[in-house]
Structure 1
Amino acid sequence: MYRPTARDRGGTFPAVRVMTFNIQHGQGVDGRVDLARIGAAIRGANVDVVGLQEVDRHFGARSRFRDQAGWLGRRLGMEVAYGGNRERSPCIPGVGRRQFGNAILSAFPITDRENIPLPRSGTHEQRGLLRVRIEAGGVVWRVYATHLQHDDPDERLVQARAIRQILGTPQHTVVLADLNAQPTTPEVRALTDALVDSWAAAGTGPGNTSASPAPTQRIDYVLHSADTRSRTVTVLTSPPASIASDHLPVLADLEANPDQ
Protein backbone atom coordinates (compact mmCIF):
# COMPACT_ATOMS: atom_id res chain seq x y z
CA MET A 1 0.00 0.00 0.00
CA TYR A 2 1.35 3.44 -0.93
CA ARG A 3 1.95 5.77 1.97
CA PRO A 4 3.09 9.39 1.58
CA THR A 5 6.55 10.34 2.77
CA ALA A 6 7.70 13.65 4.20
CA ARG A 7 8.59 14.87 0.69
CA ASP A 8 5.07 14.20 -0.56
CA ARG A 9 3.61 16.53 2.08
CA GLY A 10 4.84 19.56 0.15
CA GLY A 11 6.74 21.14 3.03
CA THR A 12 10.34 22.24 3.32
CA PHE A 13 11.27 20.05 6.29
CA PRO A 14 10.46 16.44 7.34
CA ALA A 15 6.79 16.11 8.17
CA VAL A 16 4.25 13.61 9.44
CA ARG A 17 0.46 13.56 9.29
CA VAL A 18 -1.02 12.44 12.59
CA MET A 19 -4.49 11.80 13.95
CA THR A 20 -6.03 11.31 17.37
CA PHE A 21 -9.33 9.42 17.49
CA ASN A 22 -11.34 8.10 20.43
CA ILE A 23 -13.14 5.21 18.72
CA GLN A 24 -15.48 4.14 21.58
CA HIS A 25 -14.71 0.44 20.82
CA GLY A 26 -15.99 1.05 17.29
CA GLN A 27 -19.49 2.03 18.35
CA GLY A 28 -20.93 4.77 16.18
CA VAL A 29 -23.55 7.41 16.84
CA ASP A 30 -26.15 4.97 15.51
CA GLY A 31 -25.26 2.42 18.19
CA ARG A 32 -23.66 -0.01 15.73
CA VAL A 33 -20.16 -1.39 16.30
CA ASP A 34 -18.50 -1.16 12.90
CA LEU A 35 -14.69 -1.08 12.75
CA ALA A 36 -14.81 -0.74 8.96
CA ARG A 37 -16.07 2.83 9.42
CA ILE A 38 -13.15 3.61 11.72
CA GLY A 39 -10.78 2.17 9.12
CA ALA A 40 -12.42 4.18 6.33
CA ALA A 41 -12.03 7.42 8.29
CA ILE A 42 -8.33 6.74 8.89
CA ARG A 43 -7.67 5.60 5.33
CA GLY A 44 -9.50 8.59 3.86
CA ALA A 45 -7.31 10.98 5.85
CA ASN A 46 -4.12 9.36 4.50
CA VAL A 47 -2.38 9.54 7.87
CA ASP A 48 1.10 8.38 8.83
CA VAL A 49 0.39 7.83 12.53
CA VAL A 50 -2.87 7.60 14.47
CA GLY A 51 -3.40 7.42 18.22
CA LEU A 52 -6.59 5.61 19.23
CA GLN A 53 -8.37 5.63 22.57
CA GLU A 54 -11.05 3.25 23.94
CA VAL A 55 -9.79 0.25 21.98
CA ASP A 56 -10.94 -3.28 22.84
CA ARG A 57 -8.69 -6.32 22.61
CA HIS A 58 -10.68 -9.53 23.11
CA PHE A 59 -12.55 -7.45 25.71
CA GLY A 60 -16.11 -8.64 25.41
CA ALA A 61 -19.18 -9.48 23.40
CA ARG A 62 -19.77 -5.78 22.65
CA SER A 63 -16.86 -5.94 20.18
CA ARG A 64 -17.14 -9.66 19.36
CA PHE A 65 -13.97 -10.34 21.40
CA ARG A 66 -11.98 -8.93 18.49
CA ASP A 67 -8.45 -7.54 18.70
CA GLN A 68 -9.55 -4.18 17.33
CA ALA A 69 -6.10 -2.61 16.95
CA GLY A 70 -4.78 -5.72 15.21
CA TRP A 71 -7.77 -5.79 12.88
CA LEU A 72 -7.33 -2.13 11.95
CA GLY A 73 -3.60 -2.58 11.44
CA ARG A 74 -4.15 -5.45 9.01
CA ARG A 75 -6.92 -3.57 7.24
CA LEU A 76 -4.79 -0.46 6.77
CA GLY A 77 -1.38 -2.05 6.29
CA MET A 78 0.01 -0.24 9.35
CA GLU A 79 2.15 -1.39 12.26
CA VAL A 80 0.44 -1.63 15.64
CA ALA A 81 1.37 -0.91 19.25
CA TYR A 82 -1.24 -1.61 21.91
CA GLY A 83 -1.40 -0.58 25.55
CA GLY A 84 -3.98 -2.44 27.61
CA ASN A 85 -4.89 -0.60 30.82
CA ARG A 86 -7.92 -2.56 31.99
CA GLU A 87 -7.36 -6.31 31.99
CA ARG A 88 -9.55 -9.31 32.70
CA SER A 89 -9.04 -13.04 32.46
CA PRO A 90 -9.99 -14.71 29.15
CA CYS A 91 -13.52 -16.04 28.97
CA ILE A 92 -13.09 -17.92 25.68
CA PRO A 93 -10.52 -20.74 25.49
CA GLY A 94 -7.61 -19.90 23.21
CA VAL A 95 -8.31 -16.15 23.22
CA GLY A 96 -5.87 -13.80 24.95
CA ARG A 97 -6.51 -11.66 28.02
CA ARG A 98 -9.39 -9.23 27.76
CA GLN A 99 -8.01 -5.69 27.50
CA PHE A 100 -9.20 -2.12 27.04
CA GLY A 101 -6.83 0.75 26.34
CA ASN A 102 -4.99 2.81 23.75
CA ALA A 103 -3.32 1.98 20.46
CA ILE A 104 -0.97 3.59 17.97
CA LEU A 105 -0.98 2.64 14.29
CA SER A 106 1.97 3.70 12.15
CA ALA A 107 2.77 3.60 8.45
CA PHE A 108 6.44 3.70 9.48
CA PRO A 109 8.22 0.92 11.39
CA ILE A 110 7.78 1.10 15.15
CA THR A 111 11.25 0.68 16.63
CA ASP A 112 10.38 0.84 20.32
CA ARG A 113 7.23 0.76 22.46
CA GLU A 114 6.18 1.01 26.10
CA ASN A 115 2.92 1.32 28.04
CA ILE A 116 3.20 3.30 31.28
CA PRO A 117 0.43 3.19 33.94
CA LEU A 118 -0.82 6.58 35.10
CA PRO A 119 -1.84 7.45 38.68
CA ARG A 120 -5.36 6.60 39.77
CA SER A 121 -7.36 6.70 42.97
CA GLY A 122 -9.92 4.41 44.54
CA THR A 123 -11.89 2.35 42.09
CA HIS A 124 -11.26 4.63 39.12
CA GLU A 125 -10.33 3.06 35.81
CA GLN A 126 -6.63 2.43 35.25
CA ARG A 127 -5.29 4.81 32.59
CA GLY A 128 -2.04 4.60 30.67
CA LEU A 129 0.43 6.42 28.44
CA LEU A 130 1.44 4.43 25.37
CA ARG A 131 4.75 5.44 23.76
CA VAL A 132 6.32 4.45 20.46
CA ARG A 133 9.35 5.58 18.51
CA ILE A 134 9.34 5.86 14.73
CA GLU A 135 11.62 7.36 12.11
CA ALA A 136 10.10 9.46 9.34
CA GLY A 137 11.93 11.71 6.92
CA GLY A 138 15.18 11.17 8.78
CA VAL A 139 13.67 12.38 12.07
CA VAL A 140 13.10 10.16 15.10
CA TRP A 141 9.65 10.94 16.50
CA ARG A 142 8.36 9.97 19.92
CA VAL A 143 4.62 9.50 19.73
CA TYR A 144 2.33 9.02 22.75
CA ALA A 145 -1.35 8.12 23.06
CA THR A 146 -3.37 8.62 26.22
CA HIS A 147 -6.86 9.07 27.66
CA LEU A 148 -7.35 10.81 31.01
CA GLN A 149 -9.99 10.16 33.69
CA HIS A 150 -13.39 11.34 32.52
CA ASP A 151 -15.11 12.32 35.78
CA ASP A 152 -12.45 13.68 38.16
CA PRO A 153 -10.57 16.90 37.32
CA ASP A 154 -8.23 16.51 40.30
CA GLU A 155 -7.18 13.07 39.11
CA ARG A 156 -6.77 14.35 35.56
CA LEU A 157 -4.40 17.01 36.90
CA VAL A 158 -2.32 14.38 38.69
CA GLN A 159 -2.24 12.29 35.51
CA ALA A 160 -1.28 15.28 33.35
CA ARG A 161 1.57 16.16 35.71
CA ALA A 162 2.75 12.55 35.59
CA ILE A 163 2.80 12.69 31.79
CA ARG A 164 4.72 15.96 31.90
CA GLN A 165 7.34 14.34 34.11
CA ILE A 166 7.59 11.26 31.88
CA LEU A 167 8.16 13.44 28.80
CA GLY A 168 11.16 15.17 30.34
CA THR A 169 12.62 17.60 27.82
CA PRO A 170 10.51 16.71 24.78
CA GLN A 171 12.14 16.57 21.35
CA HIS A 172 10.19 15.75 18.18
CA THR A 173 7.44 14.56 20.49
CA VAL A 174 3.73 14.20 19.67
CA VAL A 175 0.97 13.48 22.19
CA LEU A 176 -2.32 12.20 20.74
CA ALA A 177 -4.87 12.45 23.50
CA ASP A 178 -8.41 12.50 24.74
CA LEU A 179 -7.83 14.67 27.81
CA ASN A 180 -11.51 14.84 28.80
CA ALA A 181 -10.98 18.53 29.57
CA GLN A 182 -11.24 21.85 27.75
CA PRO A 183 -8.19 23.99 26.89
CA THR A 184 -8.36 26.47 29.79
CA THR A 185 -8.48 23.84 32.55
CA PRO A 186 -5.49 23.29 34.88
CA GLU A 187 -4.98 19.72 33.66
CA VAL A 188 -4.66 20.80 30.02
CA ARG A 189 -2.47 23.77 30.95
CA ALA A 190 -0.16 21.38 32.83
CA LEU A 191 0.66 19.92 29.42
CA THR A 192 0.45 23.00 27.21
CA ASP A 193 2.90 24.83 29.46
CA ALA A 194 5.51 22.48 27.96
CA LEU A 195 3.88 21.38 24.68
CA VAL A 196 2.27 23.24 21.78
CA ASP A 197 -1.47 22.79 21.31
CA SER A 198 -1.65 22.31 17.55
CA TRP A 199 -5.18 23.67 17.38
CA ALA A 200 -4.21 26.90 19.13
CA ALA A 201 -1.25 27.19 16.74
CA ALA A 202 -2.92 26.42 13.41
CA GLY A 203 -6.61 25.62 13.85
CA THR A 204 -9.61 27.70 12.80
CA GLY A 205 -12.87 27.83 14.73
CA PRO A 206 -13.74 26.13 18.00
CA GLY A 207 -12.20 22.73 17.16
CA ASN A 208 -14.92 20.83 19.04
CA THR A 209 -14.74 17.05 18.92
CA SER A 210 -17.29 15.73 21.46
CA ALA A 211 -19.94 14.59 21.27
CA SER A 212 -20.32 13.70 17.59
CA PRO A 213 -22.07 14.46 15.28
CA ALA A 214 -22.74 17.97 16.73
CA PRO A 215 -19.86 18.47 19.19
CA THR A 216 -19.80 21.24 21.78
CA GLN A 217 -16.49 20.48 23.57
CA ARG A 218 -12.84 20.47 22.55
CA ILE A 219 -11.36 17.61 24.55
CA ASP A 220 -9.27 15.77 21.92
CA TYR A 221 -5.78 17.11 21.23
CA VAL A 222 -2.68 16.88 19.10
CA LEU A 223 0.12 18.31 21.24
CA HIS A 224 3.76 18.54 20.18
CA SER A 225 7.16 19.74 21.32
CA ALA A 226 8.46 23.21 20.48
CA ASP A 227 10.92 21.83 17.89
CA THR A 228 7.93 20.91 15.73
CA ARG A 229 5.55 23.15 13.77
CA SER A 230 1.81 22.74 13.19
CA ARG A 231 1.33 23.31 9.47
CA THR A 232 -2.37 22.46 9.34
CA VAL A 233 -4.86 21.03 11.81
CA THR A 234 -8.51 20.13 11.25
CA VAL A 235 -11.37 18.30 12.90
CA LEU A 236 -12.31 15.55 10.47
CA THR A 237 -15.97 15.54 9.48
CA SER A 238 -15.91 13.14 6.52
CA PRO A 239 -18.98 10.86 6.30
CA PRO A 240 -17.37 7.85 7.99
CA ALA A 241 -15.65 9.97 10.66
CA SER A 242 -18.82 11.83 11.61
CA ILE A 243 -20.77 8.66 12.47
CA ALA A 244 -18.07 6.11 13.40
CA SER A 245 -17.71 7.16 17.06
CA ASP A 246 -19.00 9.62 19.64
CA HIS A 247 -15.82 11.68 19.05
CA LEU A 248 -14.56 13.36 15.91
CA PRO A 249 -10.89 12.80 15.06
CA VAL A 250 -8.30 15.59 14.96
CA LEU A 251 -5.91 15.56 12.00
CA ALA A 252 -2.63 17.53 11.92
CA ASP A 253 0.30 17.95 9.56
CA LEU A 254 3.41 18.47 11.67
CA GLU A 255 6.84 19.54 10.50
CA ALA A 256 10.22 19.21 12.17
CA ASN A 257 11.53 22.68 12.95
CA PRO A 258 15.29 22.97 12.29
CA ASP A 259 15.51 26.26 14.18
CA GLN A 260 14.78 24.60 17.54
Structure 2
Amino acid sequence: MRVVSWNIHWGCGKDGRIRIHAIIDVLRRLNPDVVCLQEVAANHPELDGGATANQFKQLGGAFGGYHMMEHAPSELYKNNSPRLFGNLILSKYRITQVHRHLLPWPVEAGRPAGMPRGLMETVLDTPSGKLRLMTTHLEYWSALQRMAQVQRIRELHAEACARSRVFQPDPDLDAPYQLGFRPASAILCGDFNFAPDAEDYQALLAPIDGAPAFIDAWRAVHGKVARAPTTGLHGYPWPERPECYDHFFVTDDLASRVTTVDVQSETAASDHQPVVLDLD
Protein backbone atom coordinates (compact mmCIF):
# COMPACT_ATOMS: atom_id res chain seq x y z
CA MET A 1 0.00 0.00 0.00
CA ARG A 2 1.46 3.34 -1.07
CA VAL A 3 0.20 6.66 0.33
CA VAL A 4 1.35 10.10 -0.83
CA SER A 5 0.78 13.21 1.27
CA TRP A 6 1.40 16.64 -0.28
CA ASN A 7 0.58 20.25 0.44
CA ILE A 8 0.23 21.37 -3.18
CA HIS A 9 0.10 25.15 -2.52
CA TRP A 10 -2.94 25.28 -4.87
CA GLY A 11 -0.60 24.17 -7.66
CA CYS A 12 1.38 27.42 -7.60
CA GLY A 13 5.01 26.75 -8.46
CA LYS A 14 8.19 28.73 -7.90
CA ASP A 15 7.47 30.89 -10.97
CA GLY A 16 4.14 32.04 -9.50
CA ARG A 17 2.09 30.17 -12.11
CA ILE A 18 -0.54 27.55 -11.34
CA ARG A 19 0.10 24.26 -13.06
CA ILE A 20 -2.20 21.58 -11.71
CA HIS A 21 -0.97 19.33 -14.53
CA ALA A 22 2.48 19.39 -12.92
CA ILE A 23 0.97 18.15 -9.65
CA ILE A 24 -0.89 15.44 -11.56
CA ASP A 25 2.27 14.38 -13.41
CA VAL A 26 4.21 13.93 -10.16
CA LEU A 27 1.40 11.94 -8.56
CA ARG A 28 1.05 9.67 -11.57
CA ARG A 29 4.77 8.98 -11.55
CA LEU A 30 4.62 8.03 -7.86
CA ASN A 31 1.70 5.65 -8.59
CA PRO A 32 0.07 5.77 -5.14
CA ASP A 33 -2.88 3.73 -3.94
CA VAL A 34 -4.05 6.68 -1.83
CA VAL A 35 -3.39 10.41 -2.26
CA CYS A 36 -3.80 12.96 0.55
CA LEU A 37 -3.56 16.60 -0.56
CA GLN A 38 -3.68 19.85 1.38
CA GLU A 39 -4.20 23.45 0.15
CA VAL A 40 -6.51 22.51 -2.68
CA ALA A 41 -8.48 25.55 -3.89
CA ALA A 42 -11.60 26.40 -5.87
CA ASN A 43 -12.73 29.84 -7.04
CA HIS A 44 -9.95 31.81 -5.29
CA PRO A 45 -8.69 34.27 -7.93
CA GLU A 46 -6.90 36.38 -5.30
CA LEU A 47 -4.41 33.62 -4.48
CA ASP A 48 -0.99 33.80 -6.15
CA GLY A 49 -1.38 32.74 -9.76
CA GLY A 50 -5.16 33.14 -9.68
CA ALA A 51 -6.74 29.87 -8.46
CA THR A 52 -10.03 30.36 -10.29
CA ALA A 53 -10.63 26.74 -11.32
CA ASN A 54 -12.18 24.07 -9.12
CA GLN A 55 -9.06 22.08 -8.35
CA PHE A 56 -11.02 19.43 -6.45
CA LYS A 57 -12.82 18.55 -9.69
CA GLN A 58 -9.64 18.85 -11.77
CA LEU A 59 -7.73 16.43 -9.58
CA GLY A 60 -10.64 14.05 -9.16
CA GLY A 61 -11.19 13.99 -12.91
CA ALA A 62 -7.52 13.30 -13.60
CA PHE A 63 -7.63 10.15 -11.47
CA GLY A 64 -10.76 8.48 -12.74
CA GLY A 65 -9.94 5.13 -11.19
CA TYR A 66 -9.84 6.64 -7.70
CA HIS A 67 -12.64 7.50 -5.29
CA MET A 68 -12.60 11.20 -4.31
CA MET A 69 -13.34 12.71 -0.89
CA GLU A 70 -13.04 16.43 -0.26
CA HIS A 71 -13.15 18.60 2.84
CA ALA A 72 -12.93 22.38 2.62
CA PRO A 73 -12.95 23.77 6.20
CA SER A 74 -12.61 27.23 4.62
CA GLU A 75 -15.83 27.75 2.67
CA LEU A 76 -16.53 31.36 1.79
CA TYR A 77 -19.12 32.80 -0.57
CA LYS A 78 -18.97 35.67 -3.04
CA ASN A 79 -22.09 36.40 -5.08
CA ASN A 80 -23.47 33.10 -3.76
CA SER A 81 -20.57 31.21 -5.34
CA PRO A 82 -18.51 28.96 -3.02
CA ARG A 83 -14.81 29.64 -2.59
CA LEU A 84 -13.21 26.50 -1.18
CA PHE A 85 -9.85 25.76 0.41
CA GLY A 86 -8.94 22.49 2.06
CA ASN A 87 -8.07 18.83 1.78
CA LEU A 88 -8.62 16.07 -0.76
CA ILE A 89 -8.25 12.28 -0.56
CA LEU A 90 -8.15 10.02 -3.62
CA SER A 91 -8.27 6.27 -3.05
CA LYS A 92 -8.05 3.18 -5.23
CA TYR A 93 -9.47 1.19 -2.33
CA ARG A 94 -13.14 0.88 -1.48
CA ILE A 95 -14.36 3.46 1.03
CA THR A 96 -16.75 2.44 3.79
CA GLN A 97 -16.93 5.64 5.87
CA VAL A 98 -15.90 9.30 5.73
CA HIS A 99 -15.87 11.67 8.71
CA ARG A 100 -15.14 15.39 8.30
CA HIS A 101 -14.07 16.98 11.57
CA LEU A 102 -13.64 20.69 12.17
CA LEU A 103 -10.73 21.36 14.51
CA PRO A 104 -10.60 23.99 17.30
CA TRP A 105 -9.96 27.59 16.35
CA PRO A 106 -9.48 29.49 19.63
CA VAL A 107 -8.86 33.23 19.55
CA GLU A 108 -5.33 34.34 20.40
CA ALA A 109 -4.79 38.05 20.96
CA GLY A 110 -2.11 39.63 18.82
CA ARG A 111 -2.06 36.84 16.25
CA PRO A 112 -3.56 36.74 12.75
CA ALA A 113 -6.97 35.09 12.75
CA GLY A 114 -5.78 32.20 10.59
CA MET A 115 -8.41 30.03 8.96
CA PRO A 116 -10.68 27.10 9.90
CA ARG A 117 -8.82 23.81 9.95
CA GLY A 118 -10.10 20.28 9.60
CA LEU A 119 -9.31 16.60 9.83
CA MET A 120 -10.70 14.27 7.17
CA GLU A 121 -10.97 10.64 8.23
CA THR A 122 -11.90 7.71 6.03
CA VAL A 123 -12.15 3.96 6.52
CA LEU A 124 -10.62 2.01 3.65
CA ASP A 125 -10.87 -1.64 2.66
CA THR A 126 -7.22 -2.38 1.96
CA PRO A 127 -5.75 -5.76 0.91
CA SER A 128 -4.65 -6.23 4.54
CA GLY A 129 -8.02 -5.29 6.04
CA LYS A 130 -9.83 -2.18 7.17
CA LEU A 131 -7.73 0.85 8.00
CA ARG A 132 -8.48 4.40 9.09
CA LEU A 133 -6.70 7.09 7.08
CA MET A 134 -6.66 10.71 8.25
CA THR A 135 -5.24 13.85 6.70
CA THR A 136 -5.04 17.38 8.04
CA HIS A 137 -3.41 20.80 7.71
CA LEU A 138 -2.83 22.49 11.06
CA GLU A 139 -2.56 26.17 11.90
CA TYR A 140 0.70 27.95 11.09
CA TRP A 141 0.45 31.34 12.78
CA SER A 142 -0.81 30.38 16.24
CA ALA A 143 0.87 27.84 18.51
CA LEU A 144 -2.18 28.01 20.79
CA GLN A 145 -4.51 26.99 17.97
CA ARG A 146 -2.14 24.32 16.69
CA MET A 147 -1.84 22.69 20.11
CA ALA A 148 -5.62 22.74 20.52
CA GLN A 149 -5.92 21.05 17.14
CA VAL A 150 -3.37 18.38 18.12
CA GLN A 151 -5.29 17.63 21.30
CA ARG A 152 -8.56 17.34 19.36
CA ILE A 153 -6.99 14.88 16.92
CA ARG A 154 -5.92 12.77 19.89
CA GLU A 155 -9.46 12.92 21.31
CA LEU A 156 -10.97 11.87 17.98
CA HIS A 157 -8.50 8.99 17.73
CA ALA A 158 -9.35 7.82 21.26
CA GLU A 159 -13.06 8.03 20.44
CA ALA A 160 -12.65 5.95 17.28
CA CYS A 161 -10.66 3.33 19.18
CA ALA A 162 -13.31 3.15 21.89
CA ARG A 163 -15.99 2.58 19.25
CA SER A 164 -13.90 -0.14 17.63
CA ARG A 165 -13.89 -2.07 20.91
CA VAL A 166 -17.67 -2.05 21.32
CA PHE A 167 -18.75 -2.33 17.70
CA GLN A 168 -21.51 -4.85 17.03
CA PRO A 169 -23.33 -4.98 13.68
CA ASP A 170 -27.09 -4.59 14.00
CA PRO A 171 -29.06 -5.07 10.77
CA ASP A 172 -32.25 -3.97 12.51
CA LEU A 173 -31.03 -0.37 12.73
CA ASP A 174 -32.02 2.18 10.11
CA ALA A 175 -29.42 2.64 7.37
CA PRO A 176 -27.87 5.90 8.68
CA TYR A 177 -26.95 4.13 11.93
CA GLN A 178 -25.18 1.25 10.19
CA LEU A 179 -21.79 2.90 9.84
CA GLY A 180 -19.84 -0.34 10.11
CA PHE A 181 -16.54 -1.06 11.78
CA ARG A 182 -14.16 1.83 12.44
CA PRO A 183 -10.78 0.27 13.26
CA ALA A 184 -8.21 1.47 15.76
CA SER A 185 -5.34 0.98 13.30
CA ALA A 186 -4.71 4.29 11.55
CA ILE A 187 -2.43 6.41 9.39
CA LEU A 188 -2.34 10.16 10.04
CA CYS A 189 -0.63 12.46 7.54
CA GLY A 190 -0.52 16.02 6.30
CA ASP A 191 1.05 19.42 6.84
CA PHE A 192 1.27 19.83 10.61
CA ASN A 193 3.21 23.10 10.62
CA PHE A 194 5.45 21.82 13.38
CA ALA A 195 9.04 20.66 13.16
CA PRO A 196 10.21 17.35 14.60
CA ASP A 197 10.68 17.44 18.37
CA ALA A 198 8.57 20.60 18.77
CA GLU A 199 6.23 20.74 21.76
CA ASP A 200 3.12 19.96 19.71
CA TYR A 201 4.96 17.14 17.91
CA GLN A 202 5.70 15.58 21.29
CA ALA A 203 2.11 16.12 22.42
CA LEU A 204 0.75 14.24 19.42
CA LEU A 205 2.99 11.24 20.14
CA ALA A 206 2.27 11.04 23.88
CA PRO A 207 0.53 7.86 25.13
CA ILE A 208 -3.27 7.81 24.85
CA ASP A 209 -5.36 5.90 27.40
CA GLY A 210 -7.25 3.06 25.74
CA ALA A 211 -5.84 3.69 22.27
CA PRO A 212 -2.71 2.76 20.33
CA ALA A 213 -0.26 5.66 20.36
CA PHE A 214 0.94 7.38 17.22
CA ILE A 215 4.47 6.61 16.03
CA ASP A 216 6.50 8.87 13.73
CA ALA A 217 6.78 6.76 10.57
CA TRP A 218 10.07 8.43 9.60
CA ARG A 219 11.65 7.35 12.87
CA ALA A 220 10.20 3.83 12.47
CA VAL A 221 12.08 3.43 9.16
CA HIS A 222 15.12 5.71 9.44
CA GLY A 223 15.81 5.75 13.18
CA LYS A 224 17.98 8.73 14.10
CA VAL A 225 18.92 9.61 10.52
CA ALA A 226 18.46 13.35 9.91
CA ARG A 227 15.04 14.08 8.48
CA ALA A 228 14.72 15.25 4.90
CA PRO A 229 13.19 18.75 4.64
CA THR A 230 9.73 19.08 3.13
CA THR A 231 9.76 22.88 2.76
CA GLY A 232 12.29 25.60 1.99
CA LEU A 233 13.71 24.05 -1.18
CA HIS A 234 14.02 25.38 -4.75
CA GLY A 235 14.45 29.00 -3.69
CA TYR A 236 10.99 29.60 -2.24
CA PRO A 237 11.02 32.63 0.08
CA TRP A 238 9.27 30.67 2.86
CA PRO A 239 10.41 29.35 5.25
CA GLU A 240 13.72 30.98 6.05
CA ARG A 241 15.56 27.66 5.93
CA PRO A 242 14.68 24.12 4.86
CA GLU A 243 12.47 22.42 7.44
CA CYS A 244 10.20 19.40 7.86
CA TYR A 245 6.55 20.29 8.49
CA ASP A 246 4.94 17.37 6.63
CA HIS A 247 4.71 14.04 8.41
CA PHE A 248 3.31 10.55 8.47
CA PHE A 249 2.27 9.03 11.78
CA VAL A 250 0.98 5.48 12.23
CA THR A 251 -0.53 3.67 15.18
CA ASP A 252 2.04 1.54 16.97
CA ASP A 253 0.53 -1.71 15.67
CA LEU A 254 1.38 -0.62 12.11
CA ALA A 255 4.92 0.63 12.74
CA SER A 256 6.60 -2.67 11.83
CA ARG A 257 4.76 -2.71 8.49
CA VAL A 258 6.15 0.63 7.30
CA THR A 259 8.84 -0.08 4.72
CA THR A 260 9.38 3.34 3.13
CA VAL A 261 9.06 6.99 4.13
CA ASP A 262 10.67 9.23 1.52
CA VAL A 263 10.52 12.91 0.63
CA GLN A 264 10.42 13.58 -3.12
CA SER A 265 12.64 16.65 -3.22
CA GLU A 266 13.09 17.20 -6.96
CA THR A 267 9.78 18.89 -7.85
CA ALA A 268 9.25 22.66 -7.57
CA ALA A 269 5.51 22.44 -8.34
CA SER A 270 4.68 23.50 -4.75
CA ASP A 271 6.44 25.13 -1.81
CA HIS A 272 6.15 21.74 -0.07
CA GLN A 273 7.48 18.40 -1.23
CA PRO A 274 5.43 15.21 -1.55
CA VAL A 275 6.04 12.55 1.07
CA VAL A 276 5.64 8.84 0.26
CA LEU A 277 4.80 6.06 2.71
CA ASP A 278 4.80 2.36 1.79
CA LEU A 279 3.07 -0.15 4.07
CA ASP A 280 3.40 -3.90 3.46
With the length of structure 1 as denominator, give the TM-score of the two structures: 0.84
**Which of 222, 227, 231 pairs up with 1:206?**
227
Q: Which amino acid aligns with 1:21?
A: W
1:50 aligns with 2:63: no
CA displacement 1:141-166 (0-9 Å, x = unmatched): 11111011101122211110100110
**Which of 71, 85, 88 pairs up with 2:76?**
88
CA displacement 1:91-124 (0-9 Å, x = unmatched): 4x7xx52111111111123222121110012333
> CA offset at residue 237 of structure 1?
2.6
Residue aligning to 2:244: 218
Q: Which amino acid aligns with 1:105?
A: L
Q: How many Å separate the matches in 2 of 1:90 and 1:69?
A: 18
**Which of 94, 97, 116 pairs up with 1:112?**
97
**Which of 28, 36, 45 pairs up with 1:60?**
45
Q: How many Å separate the matches in 2 of 1:79 and 1:57?
A: 19
> CA offset at residue 84 of structure 1?
0.8
SS in structure 2 opposite 1:247?
Answer: coil
Q: How many Å separate the matches in 2 of 1:212 and 1:66?
A: 26
Q: Which amino acid aligns with 1:223?
A: F
SS in structure 1 opposite 2:97?
Answer: strand
Residue aligning to 2:179: none
Q: How many Å separate the matches in 2 of 1:213 and 1:50?
A: 23
CA contact (8 A) 2:5 2:37 kept: yes
**Which of 132, 156, 165 pairs up with 1:166?**
156
Q: How many Å separate the matches in 2 of 1:47 and 1:201?
A: 20
Q: How many Å separate the matches in 2 of 1:140 and 1:58?
A: 35
Q: How many Å separate the matches in 1 of 2:91 and 2:150?
A: 24
Q: How many Å separate the matches in 2 of 1:57 and 1:107?
A: 24
Matches within 5 A, 1:70-89: 70-77=57-64, 78-89=66-77
Q: Which amino acid aligns with 1:152?
A: S
Aligned residues: 234
Q: How many Å separate the matches in 1 of 2:71 and 2:191?
A: 15
CA displacement 1:26-52 (0-9 Å, x = unmatched): 101221100011111111111111111
1:98 aligns with 2:83: yes
> CA offset at residue 230 of structure 1?
1.4
- Alpha-carbon spacing, 1:152–1:46, altered in 2? closer, same or farther (3 Å): same
Residue aligning to 2:238: none
> CA offset at residue 89 of structure 1?
1.4
Q: Which amino acid aligns with 2:220?
A: A
> CA offset at residue 250 of structure 1?
0.8
Question: Radius of gyration: which is bigger?
Answer: 2
> CA offset at residue 205 of structure 1?
3.6
With the length of structure 2 as denominator, give the TM-score of the two structures: 0.78
Q: Which amino acid aligns with 1:60?
A: P
1:233 aligns with 2:261: yes
CA displacement 1:129-187 (0-9 Å, x = unmatched): 01111111041111111011101122211110100110113722111111101111121
Please, which runs of 5 or more residues in structure 2 have no aligned partner?
A: 108-112, 162-182, 207-212, 236-240
**Which of 18, 28, 35 pairs up with 2:3?**
18
CA contact (8 A) 1:142 1:173 kept: yes
Which deviates more, 55-64 or 225-234?
Answer: 55-64
The root-mean-square deviation of aligned C-alpha atoms, in Å, is 1.8
SS in structure 2 opposite 1:65?
Answer: strand
> CA offset at residue 64 of structure 1?
4.4
> CA offset at residue 213 of structure 1?
2.5
